[in-house]
Amino acid sequence: MQFIDANLLTIIITLPLAGALALLFVPKEKTGLIKNLALGISAAALLFSLRLYFAFDAADAAMQFAVNKPWLPDWGINYRLGVDGISLLMLMLTAFLTPLAILASFNSIQEHQKAFYASLLALQTGMMGVFAAMDVFLFYVFWEAMLIPMYFLIGVWGGHRRVYAALKFFIYTMLGSVLMLAAIIFVYLAHKAQFGTYSFALADFCGTAFPLKTQLWLCATFALAFAIKVPLFPFHTWLPDAHVEAPTAGSVILAGVLLKMGVYGYLRFAVPMFPAAAQSFAPWLALLGVIGVVYGSLVAWSQPDMKKMVAYSSVAHMGLIVLGIAAFEPAAVSGAVLQMVNHGLSTGALFLIVGILYERRHTRMIEDYGGLAKAMPGFSAVFMIVMLSSIGLPGLNGFVGEFLVLFGSFRTYPWLSAAAVSGVILSAVYMLGMYQRVVFGPVTHEENKRLPDLNAREWAYMLPLLAFIILIGIYPAPFLRKIDAAVRTYVTAVQKPESALAGERGSHKPQATNKERR
C-alpha cells in the first residue's frame, strides 16, 4: 500500500500505456478479450484515481503526491509530478470518461479493434501526464505525444472526411505548440541567466522574472497554443471538423478532456508564469471567450447536424469558461474549473447520445428523427436530463458552473458577462429546439418507429454520467472544496504582479547580452 501511495501518479499515468502495449500482443481475432482487457485496464486506472481523490487533502494548497526524480539531469529536466485541486478534478474526469468511452465503442468500432483500444489507452496516458506534470518539459512531451493517438483515432475510425480532419487537427495544434516550445526554451535559458542553474521545474519558471515587454511576447505564444486547444474564437475552425469526423469515443475524449487542456494550460502555465502580461491580456481573452459564446451559440443554432451542433455548443461553453478564468475572481475561477468538469460530463454525454442514435440509424441529421419518445422512452428521458444540464437548468450541474462564472466575472467585466448571458439563453433555444424536433412530434420516418430503446450496455455508460450530472447539480460543495486552495493560489498569483516585475531591473542585463551575442 505504501508503495502504491508513493507512486500513485506514476501508476495512474503508466498503467494505460502498459495496457496499450499489452493489447498489441493479443491476437486480433480475440475481440472479446481485447475489449474486456481495455475496459479492465481503464477501470483499474479509475480505481487508482479514486484512491488519489480520497487521499487528497483539500486543505493543503501545495502540490500533493509530488514526485521528483532526475530524468535528464544535465538539462535540469526532471520527472516531476504533482496534483493540486484543479489537476485532481481533471485527472478524475479523464479517468472517469475513458472507461465510458471504451464501453461506448464496443459495437460501433468493428475494424482494427486492437489498435483502436490501444490508441485510446495511449491517449489516456498522454492526458493524465499533461494534468500531472509539474516539469514544463515533461508537460510538453505529454502534450505533443498525445497528438499521435488522437490523430489515429480521428483518421482511422472517423467519418468520410476523416483524413482531412485528422491532418487539420494535428497541424493546427502543432503550429501552436512549436511556438510555445520556443518560449519554453527562452524562459529556461532566462532562468539559467538569473539563477545560474538549469531547471524545467514549473515553480522555477514561475519564479523567473521578465520585463513586461518580454513577458507579453512569451505569454502570447503560450496563450496562442492554449487558445488553439480550447479552442477560442477565431482559432476554433479545426474543432467542428475533428468532432464531426471523429468516432463517438474520440469525440467524447476530445470534448471531455482535450479541450480542457487549453484552459488548464492558462491556469497552470500561461497565467502563473507571466502574471503581469496575463493581466493585460485578460480583457482580450475574456472578449474572445464571449465572442465564442455568442458566435458558437448562433452557429450551433443553425446546424442541421446534431454532432455539429454539439461541437459548436462546445465552442460556446469553452468561451464561457475562459471568461471565468480571465476574471481572476475566486468565484468565477472556481465556477470555471467546475464548469470544465460539467462540460466534460454533459457534452461527453451528448456525444454519446448522438452516437447511440447514429448506431441505430446511421444519420446525424435532426430532420431524420422525430417522435422518438414513443419508441425510446428511456433514451428520451436520459437525453432530456443531459440536454437540460447542458443548458444550465437549476438543479443540474451546468447551472452551478455557469452561475458561478457569470456571478464572479460580473464584477470584473460587467458588459461582457451580460453579453455572455445571451449565450446561455441561446443555448436553451437551440438545444430545446433540437430536442423537440428529435424526440417529440409526429414520427416522420417509418424506421424510427421500431428503434430499440437503450440496452444494458448503453445504460451502463449513461447512468454514471447522469449520476454525476445530478450530484454536482444538487451538492457541488465537496468538489468546490477540493479546488478551493488551488483557485486561491491562482488568483493571488495574478493579484500581485508587482512582485514579479520587481526583478525587471536585474533581468534587463542578460537580455541585452543575449541580443549582442547574436
Partner 1 sequence: MNPETASHFMRSLAVPLTLTAAALAALFLPMIAGKDDARPGLAVLGAALALLAVFPASGPDSISLFSGALTLSPFTNYLWPFFLTALAFTVLLSLRARGGLPGAGEYYFLLALAALGLMLLVSAGELLTVFIAVELLSVCLYALAAINRSPAGAEAGYKYFLLGSLGTGMLVMGIALVYGTLGTLNFEAIQSALPFSHPSSLIPHPSLHPLTSTGFIFLIAGFSFKAALVPFHMWVPDVYEGAPTPVSAFMGAAVKAGGILILYRLYVLTAGSAQFREIFWGLAVVTMVLGNLMALPQQNLKRLLGYSSIAHAGYISAGFFGGSEGLKAVLYYLAVYALATMGAFAVIAAVEKDERGITVKDLDGFSGRHPWLAGAMAVFILSLAGIPPLAGFFGKFYVFTAALKAGCVWLVVIALVMSAVSVYYYLRVLTAMYMEKEHTALHARPSRAMNLALILLALAVTALGIFSAPLLRLAQAAAIF
Q: Would you state the cell numbers that stand for residue 352, as one nine-digit string? A: 454519446
* CA dist., res. 459 & res. 382, Å (int): 9
Burial status of residue 220 (CB atoms within 10 A of its CB: 0-12, 13-18, 19 or more): middle
Asked if the bond preceding 231 is cis, omega within 30° of 0, the reply is yes
Q: Does 518 bind partner 1 (CB under 8 A)?
A: yes
Q: Which of 44, 189, 470, 501 binds partner 1 (CB under 8 A)?
A: 189
* CA dist., res. 427 & res. 338, Å (int): 19
Q: Which of 21, 55, 174, 477 binds partner 1 (CB under 8 A)?
A: 174
- Nearest CB to partner 1, comparing residues 83 and 225: 225
Site string for partner 1, 113-142 (x = CB under 8 A): ---------------------------xx-
- Nearest CB to partner 1, comparing residues 17 and 287: 17
Site string for partner 1, 14-53 (x = CB under 8 A): ----------------------------------------
As a whole number of angstroms, the longest Cα–Cα distance in the chain is 76
- Nearest CB to partner 1, comparing residues 53 and 186: 186
Q: Which of 72, 418, 425, 477 binds partner 1 (CB under 8 A)?
A: 72
Q: Which of 106, 117, 170, 264 binds partner 1 (CB under 8 A)?
A: 170
* CA dist., res. 381 & res. 466, Å (int): 11
Cα–Cα–Cα angle for 189, 191, 197, nearest 5°?
Answer: 95
Site string for partner 1, 147-166 (x = CB under 8 A): xx--xx--xx-----xx--x
Which of these segments, 31-39, 182-190, 377-385, 426-434, binds partner 1 (CB under 8 A)?
182-190
Residue 224 C-beta: closest distance to partner 1, Å: 12
Residue 201 C-beta: closest distance to partner 1, Å: 16
Report how many helices (DSSP H) and strands (DSSP E) the chain contains, helices first.
25, 2
Q: Would you state the cell numbers that stand for residue 48, as one nine-digit string? A: 487508482
Cβ-based neighbours of 171, under 8 Å, separated by 6 or more: none
Which of these segments, 36-44, 144-152, 244-252, 485-493, binds partner 1 (CB under 8 A)?
144-152
- DSSP calls for 313-356: HHHHHHHHHHHHHHS--HHHHHHHHHHHHHHHHHHHHHHHHHHH
Q: Which of 5, 47, 55, 73 binds partner 1 (CB under 8 A)?
A: 73
- Nearest CB to partner 1, comparing residues 155 and 408: 155
- Nearest CB to partner 1, comparing residues 24 and 50: 24
Which of these segments, 183-191, 224-232, 322-330, 435-443, binds partner 1 (CB under 8 A)?
183-191
Contact in structure between 285 and 414 (CB atoms under 8 Å): no
Cβ-based neighbours of 428, under 8 Å, separated by 6 or more: 391, 392
Contact in structure between 402 and 316 (CB atoms under 8 Å): no
- Nearest CB to partner 1, comparing residues 182 and 429: 182
Which of these segments, 5-13, 174-182, 228-236, 350-358, binds partner 1 (CB under 8 A)?
174-182
Contact in structure between 33 and 141 (CB atoms under 8 Å): no
Q: Which residues pair with 440 in a beta bridge?
A: none
- DSSP calls for 272-283: HHSHHHHHHHHH
**Residues of this chain that bind partner 1 (CB under 8 A):** 72-75, 140-141, 144-145, 147-148, 151-152, 155-156, 162-163, 166-167, 170-171, 174-175, 178-179, 181-182, 185-186, 188-189, 514-518
